[in-house]
């Protein structure tokens, strides 16, 4: 039997508890549970405690769903979204480019989830203790798996609506059954610019397989994952939906959240979602007098459980990642399902633009290179061209931007991250095997000078003073990083 860790006390479970310093709080809403993300970074105890609570909640048959979303300063409200505005330069110290963000205020952005705070962890001094680092990363992995759901124990779906930037370990919240992006949702991997690599949430498994689950166009271009992993590219909501990083898109979350919560609260719990009667035993069966334990008896309503939640998500969102497949299935859908669960006949599968997919398609041959050096050489070849054609110049500018992004990353982190991607894309790999490898690599990366030096630079550029691009990495270029160094970091004990 798994006993609850003391860290669960760090996650208040109702509005009556003290939430002054809490990073997250859980509140019952009818037959649903709402997880309010009050801070973008959680402490190690909060990550561990929340992972345990989500694991327990997702197995609770008396509920119908768990909703995870950012919130404003008052967690008692049921229709609020975040006030976690932060200095955009603090998250993007290397540049202030014109991206996709719709800033809540000048030079600010919403920050929804970032996992643990790498600077705070450095200040604690725990980064020097491999056991402490392993404990932190174990909790991050547990949170990701709890959000995703255990294959045999989970019963109810987890829904995530991150209204802001999600980065690195914060993506643990997005491995949910339904990941709903909004106009403020963005995703970016920042760790290589910190001298680190993937947090153990399975990126080296997920990114090489973008678009595969919903048979999207992004599945044809391996560059989609490589761009996100190696360049620090910031994906917007369209990028996320068109690659499967998000399953749905919600256009007006501030006006919809309250209605969504009320609807979920009124749905019957998992164990009461009974739409068909248990078949009556035949006389022959009764004469056999064979006892079948309850846990071994077939669940005649299994195919209908959680369908009401799926229909609710479908109704409250504008479009979803598998819309094309859903449209194709309409002609052959099972007519024995209740009419309330029919697909909406409206055309939800309009063509949507994704700059990430377009870039990956344009530079497909470059990102098929099997080395970081090869990718950078290919981008440099395009970036140094000259032309008078505006369309060709646009491609040159994109190549130059991607190359500059890669040059700003820690060379060792870039090579380690690329190796993780290459290993993770192999067919025999699983999400858990990739997480295990990511954890070991991250433990070793925290012992390297790059992470320590980056943190020191962050701490010396507080206040209004903007830190210049950090360049004091252990290696000058990726060519200075040996393959043996990379292998030593990734090697499993």
**Would you give the DSSP letter of residue 469?**
P
Find out whether 260 and 80 touch, Cβ atoms under 8 Å: no
Find out whether 248 and 313 touch, Cβ atoms under 8 Å: yes
**Would you give the DSSP letter of residue 32?**
E
- Residue 65, pLDDT > 80, answer yes
Hey, is 161 helix, strand or coil? strand
CB atoms within 10 A of CB 22: 19
- Residue 226, pLDDT > 80, answer yes
pLDDT on residue 100: 32
pLDDT on residue 335: 39
Segment 148-152 shows an average pLDDT of: 73
The runs of H, that is alpha helices, within 409-463 are 411-424, 431-445, 449-459
pLDDT band at 73 (very low <50, low <70, confident <90, very high): very low
pLDDT band at 426 (very low <50, low <70, confident <90, very high): very high
Hey, is 243 helix, strand or coil? helix
Segment 338-351 shows an average pLDDT of: 42
Question: Please, is 403 exposed, middle or buried when counting C-beta atoms within 10 Å of its C-beta (0-12, 13-18, 19+)?
Answer: buried
pLDDT tens digit sequence for 281-330: 554 555 555 555 655 555 655 666 788 898 899 999 998 887 654 444 44
186-188/85-87 β-pairing: unpaired
32-37/65-70 β-pairing: parallel
pLDDT on residue 278: 52
Least confident of 216-220, 344-348, 401-405: 344-348
Q: E-assigned strands of 30-144?
A: 32-37, 65-70, 85-87, 108-113
pLDDT tens digit sequence for 106-126: 556 688 999 999 999 999 999
Find out whether 223 and 359 touch, Cβ atoms under 8 Å: yes
CA-angle at 92, arms to 431 and 181, nearest 5°: 50
Residue (of 134, 125, 126, 108) closest to 40 by Cα position? 108
Q: How far apart are CA 389 and CA 397, in angstroms?
A: 12
Which pTM was predicted?
0.84
Find out whether 78 and 260 touch, Cβ atoms under 8 Å: no
Q: What is the mean pLDDT of the chain?
A: 83
pLDDT band at 192 (very low <50, low <70, confident <90, very high): very high
**Residue bearing tokens 């309330």:** 340
pLDDT on residue 193: 96
pLDDT band at 149 (very low <50, low <70, confident <90, very high): confident
343 phi/psi in degrees, rounded to 5? -65, 145
pLDDT on residue 416: 98
**Residue bearing tokens 């090489």:** 208
- Residue 372, pLDDT > 70, answer yes
Instruction: Give me the architecture of the 6-251+353-490 domain, per CATH.
Output: Alpha-Beta Complex (3.90)
pLDDT on residue 19: 72
pLDDT on residue 110: 82
pLDDT on residue 71: 66
CA-angle at 205, arms to 203 and 206, nearest 5°: 65
* Domain edges within the chain: 6-251+353-490
Q: How far apart are CA 444 and CA 198, in angstroms?
A: 12
- Residue 333, pLDDT > 50, answer no
Q: How far apart are CA 53 and CA 38, in angstroms?
A: 16
pLDDT on residue 22: 87
Name the more confident of 179 and 277: 179
Least confident of 45-54, 73-82, 126-135, 319-328: 73-82
pLDDT on residue 329: 43
CA-angle at 342, arms to 340 and 345, nearest 5°: 125
pLDDT on residue 287: 52
Name 113's bridge partners.
166
Residue 262 to residues 180, 266, 316: CA-CA distances in angstroms? 17, 6, 12
- Residue 487, pLDDT > 50, answer yes
pLDDT on residue 325: 47
């Amino acid at each position: 039997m798994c006993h609850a860790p003391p860290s669960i006390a760090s996650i208040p479970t109702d509005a009556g508890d003290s939430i002054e310093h809490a990073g997250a709080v859980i509140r019952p809403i009818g037959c649903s549970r709402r997880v309010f993300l009050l801070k973008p970074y959680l402490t190690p105890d909060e990550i561990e405690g929340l992972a345990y609570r989500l694991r327990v909640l997702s197995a609770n048959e008396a509920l119908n769903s768990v909703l995870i979303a950012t919130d404003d300063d008052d967690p008692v409200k049921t229709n609020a979204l975040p006030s976690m505005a932060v200095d955009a330069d603090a998250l993007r110290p290397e540049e202030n480019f014109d991206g996709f963000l719709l800033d809540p205020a000048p030079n600010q952005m919403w920050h929804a989830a970032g996992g643990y705070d790498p600077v705070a962890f450095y200040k604690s001094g725990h980064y020097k203790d491999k056991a402490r680092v392993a404990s932190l990363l174990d909790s991050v992995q547990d949170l990701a798996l709890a959000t995703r759901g255990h294959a045999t124990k989970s019963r109810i779906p987890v829904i995530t609506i991150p209204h802001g930037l999600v980065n690195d370990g914060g993506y643990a919240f997005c491995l949910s059954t339904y990941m709903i992006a909004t106009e403020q949702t963005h995703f970016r991997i920042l760790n290589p610019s910190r001298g680190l690599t993937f947090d153990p949430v399975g990126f080296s498994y997920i990114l090489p397989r973008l678009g595969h689950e919903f048979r999207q166009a992004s599945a044809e271009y391996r560059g989609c994952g490589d761009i996100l992993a190696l360049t620090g590219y910031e994906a917007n909501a369209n990028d996320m939906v068109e690659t499967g990083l998000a399953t749905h898109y919600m256009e007006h979350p501030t006006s919809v959240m309250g209605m969504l919560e009320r609807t979920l609260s009124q749905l019957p719990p998992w164990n009461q979602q009974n739409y068909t009667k248990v078949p009556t035993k035949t006389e022959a069966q009764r004469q056999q007098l064979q006892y079948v334990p309850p846990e071994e008896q077939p669940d005649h309503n299994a195919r209908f459980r959680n369908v009401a939640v799926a229909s609710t998500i479908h109704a409250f969102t504008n479009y979803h990642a598998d819309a094309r497949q859903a449209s194709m299935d309409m002609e052959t859908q099972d007519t024995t399902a209740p009419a309330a669960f029919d697909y909406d006949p409206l055309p939800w599968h309009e063509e949507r633009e994704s700059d990430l997919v377009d870039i990956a398609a344009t530079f497909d041959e470059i990102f098929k290179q099997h080395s970081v050096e090869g990718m950078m050489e290919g981008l440099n070849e395009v970036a140094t061209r000259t032309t008078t054609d505006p369309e060709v110049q646009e491609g040159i500018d994109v190549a130059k931007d991607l190359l500059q992004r890669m040059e700003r990353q820690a060379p060792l982190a870039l090579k380690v991250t690329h190796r993780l991607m290459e290993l993770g894309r192999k067919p025999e790999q699983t999400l858990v095997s990739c997480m295990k490898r990511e954890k070991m690599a991250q433990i070793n990366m925290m012992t390297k000078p790059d992470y320590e030096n980056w943190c020191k630079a962050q701490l010396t550029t507080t206040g209004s003073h903007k830190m210049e691009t950090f360049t004091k990495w252990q290696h000058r270029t990726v060519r200075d990083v040996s393959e043996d160094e990379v292998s030593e970091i990734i090697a499993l004990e």
